[in-house]
Amino acid sequence: MATLRENPKPGVATLFLTACLSAGSLMSAGPAAAEKILLAHPQPTDHIYHRLSEAFIENLAETTGGTYTVDYHPGGDLGGFEALYEQVMEGVIPMAFTSPDSTLDPRLDVIFMGYLADDWESARTLYGAGGPMEDVLNDIFQEFDVRSLGVVPTGFGGIAMRKGESAVPVNFPEDAAGLKLRVPGLPIARVKYTAMGFSPVPIPFTEVYTAMQLGTVDARAFAPIPEIWQMRDVIGSYIRTNEYFEATYWFVNDSWWSGLPDADRAQIQEAVDRTLADVWDMAIGIDEEYEAKVRDAGIAVVDLTPEQMDKAKQAVRAAEWPYAEESFGADLLARVNEAAGLQ
């Protein structure tokens, strides 16, 4: 058994043609030919997605006896996070590691709510296989003909200050006053980081490096530590605020998945389960590995004291929960809070 962000969005028609040509209309014809599953993700080959993909390819060969193989597309060559999610939703791509696109439904922003988990142990309990968030999220995903086969943890968010910026905010919201912070174009991101005292500036991921380099922003959010290493040339310090847990999903198109023969679906699921068996330990190891690299590169890594962390939590929850109740609905917010043990 094998163990173990964003690109410009191509047009859907182009992606469909590419997928069909490269995957033989996703599934190969002919009685003797192995059927191919197109698997895509938006990250480079030094990312945890690539390690998982390689393990899945090997595990799938074992569990299906070679009757299924993988047509593998790393590095965003079929699109970034949003494009891949939409293509899985539309059935153009059957399988991808990606995040949901909340522009389609604001409830999908629930995955970015702040301080639902405090550390790796609580994140694993909440988001891991069989965890209480699994059913909450799949109930939403399946409305879009998408199913999650499992969670791929990538780490906690933090605040990365650009090189040359002397401010190191640790007391929120007052320390962050006047600091321009890059955020993705998610409404919940603006709510969260405004509550922490920042001035949020929505910037696409592909432009973040240049924005940090030129001083367009003073800092960036949505920054798990492997991405700090990728942008180490423009980062001076990194504050481990842990304000949200970044988990992406092993998505499949639900109609495609449900339409598979029962025996085939069980074999593919077994390959997925084998691949994800030690994904949390792998993710923790990667987090520790990249923190050491970041420190060795001369970037200051700053942990909040328990008092500073509690203050940040209070600021975020005071703003985010009323927003979440209005945007997601009281019933969904209650399910999330119950899952996280916050009621």
**142: domain range?**
35-340
Encode pLDDT of 109-120 as tens digits: 998 999 999 899
- Tokens found for residue 304: 């909040």
Question: Using CB atoms within 10 A of its CB, is residue 178 exposed (0-12), middle (13-18) or buried (19+)?
Answer: exposed
Residue 9 lies in a domain: no
Residue 12 lies in a domain: no
Backbone angles phi, psi at 309, to 5 degrees: -65, -45
Opening angle at CA 49, ends 265 and 204, nearest 5: 120
Residue 29 lies in a domain: no
- Tokens found for residue 315: 């600021």
| pLDDT of the residue at 26 | 46
Residue 94 lies in a domain: yes
Q: Please say whether the beta carbons of 244 and 317 come within 8 A.
A: no
User: Number of folded domains in the chain?
Assistant: 1
Residue keyed to tokens 């799938």: 60
Percent of the chain with pLDDT over 90: 78
DSSP 167-219: ----STTGGGTT-EEEE-S-HHHHHHHHHTT-EEEE--GGGHHHHHHHTSSSE
Considering the chain, what is the average pLDDT of its residues? 90
Q: Residue 147 is inside which H or E element, if any?
A: strand 146-156
HSE on the CB side for 187, CA within 13 Å?
A: 17
Q: Please say whether the beta carbons of 179 and 196 come within 8 A.
A: no
CA distance linking residue 245 with residue 121, whole number of Å = 12
| Whole-prediction pTM | 0.81
- CATH code (residue 240): 3.40.190.170
Q: What is the CA radius of gyration of the chain?
A: 20
Residue 52 lies in a domain: yes
Q: Please say whether the beta carbons of 56 and 272 come within 8 A.
A: yes
Encode pLDDT of 30-81 as tens digits: 445 889 999 999 988 888 999 999 999 999 999 999 999 999 999 999 998 8
CA distances in angstroms from 265 to 142, 149, 261, 272, listed in the order given: 17, 11, 6, 10
| pLDDT of the residue at 30 | 45
| pLDDT of the residue at 248 | 87
Q: How confident is the model at residue 2 (pLDDT cuts 50, 70, 90)?
A: low
- Sheet of 159-162, strands arranged across: 199-202, 180-183, 219-220, 159-162, 235-240, 300-303
